[in-house]
Amino acid sequence: MAEENFSYKISPSLLLFLSLFLSFPSLSPAHNQQQSHSITAIFVFGDSTVDPGNNNYVPTLFRSNFPPYGRDYTRQRPTGRFTNGRLLTDFVASYMGLKDAIPPYLDKSLSLEELMTGVSFASAGSGYDPLTPKLGEVIDLPKQLDYFREYKKRLELMIGKKRADDHIQRSAVIVSAGTNDFVVNYFALPFRKQKYTVEEYQYFLLLKFGEFIQGLRDLGPWKIAVAGLPPMGCLPIVITANRGGPFQKRACVDALNSVAQDYNRKLQDELGAIQKRCGNEGCRFVYVDIYGPTADMILRPAKFGFEDSTDGCCGTGLFEASFLCSPKSPMCPDASKYVFFDSIHPTERAYYILFNALRDTVDLLE
C-alpha cells in the first residue's frame, strides 16, 4: 500500500479527548437468548469499548464512572463503562449463560463466582503500540497480561492448579484494540509518522499483536476472538476534527476508513498464519468483523431505527467524551435513537444490533 497523501487534522483541544478512549470494537447484546454453552468463562483485553471500569482504579483522568454514563444501566448506575448501558462483552457473557455483565478485574471485591465466570482486564485508551497507552497513562496490554497471570495464580490457590488450568483452557478470550493506535497516535502525533509509513505502521502493530497473542497463549486459553478495526473515519469526533466548515455536511473520513480496511485484511492473514502454527486441534483463532456491521449501521441508520449516526447523544454530540460528557451536559431524550452515546462510543442499542450481526462469529468460540 502506497503511503497516504492525506493529512489527518486534530486540533489540540480535541487531542486530549482522543488520547484516551478512541477505539471501539464491537460485539453486542443478545440478552434473553441464552443457550447451552461449553465456555467456562470469558476474559477480555483491550480498550475503552471493553473496559467495564478498570480505569476507575488507575490514576488517570480518563474515566466514565459518573452520570450520564450508565444512565440506562441497572439502577441508572455509572460503572466506568463508556456508554449508557452494557457493553458488547456483557451481552456475549449473557448469551453464553455466564453472567449479565463482565466486571473489571481491578475491583478487589469480586467473589469467587465472579472471578470464575470471567473478568475484563481492558483499559480505556490502550492499544498495541506501547506509546499509545502512555498518552493517557492507562493500562498497556503487557500489563493486562500480567494481571491475567495474577488472576491465574489466585484461581490456582482457590481451586487448585489442575482445575484452574482446565477452566482457563475451556474459556473464551476477546481482544479488541487498535483504533487508538491510529486515531490517537499515528495520525494525531508526529512521532510514529516520522518513523513509519502507514503500511509499515500496520505491520509494526501486527508484530506487537503477535507478541501479545503468544503471551496470552502461554497462559492457557485455546479459544481467542480478535476484533478488527471499526470504520474509524466515522467516529463523530473524527468527523468534527476533519470538517471543512460549519456549513459542510458531516461525513465519514474515507481515507481513514481505507486504512482500517487494509489493516483488517492484514490482521485476518496474521490470524490465519497463527492458526496454522498452533499445532493443536483444540485451539481456535476467530476474526471478528467489526467494520462491516458498524458501517452499515452508521451509513444506513434508518434501516435500524436510528435517527442520528454522526453525532453523540451527550452534549453537542460533536466532541464530548469522558469528563466533557458530564452531569451538566444536555442529553438527547432517547439514547436508543443514536448510534453513538458520546462522540466516540456506541450506545447500548448499537451494541445490541452489532451483536446480532456477529452472533454466528461468537458461536465459533464453542
Task: Report the catalytic residues.
Answer: 48, 342, 345
| DSSP count for the chain of H helices, then E strands | 13, 7
Q: Which residues pair with 118 in a beta bridge?
A: 42
What's the rounded Cα separation, in Å, for the pair 74 and 333?
A: 18
Neighbours of 59 (CB within 10 A): 7
Looking at residue 218, the DSSP 8-state letter turns out to be T
Question: Among all chains, which residue has been given the C-alpha cell 492457557?
Answer: 220
Q: Which of 14, 83, 19, 73 has the alpha carbon at shortest distance from 51?
A: 83
C-alpha cell at 359: 452472533
Residue 84 parent element (H or E): none
Q: Which of 56, 4, 89 has the alpha carbon at shortest distance from 354?
A: 89
**Edge-to-edge strand ranges of the sheet holding 118-120:** 118-120, 42-46, 172-176, 223-227, 284-288
What is the full DSSP assignment across 262-289? HHHHHHHHHHHHHHHHH--TT-EEEEE-
With beta carbons less than 8 A apart as the criterion, state whether 182 and 232 touch. Answer: yes
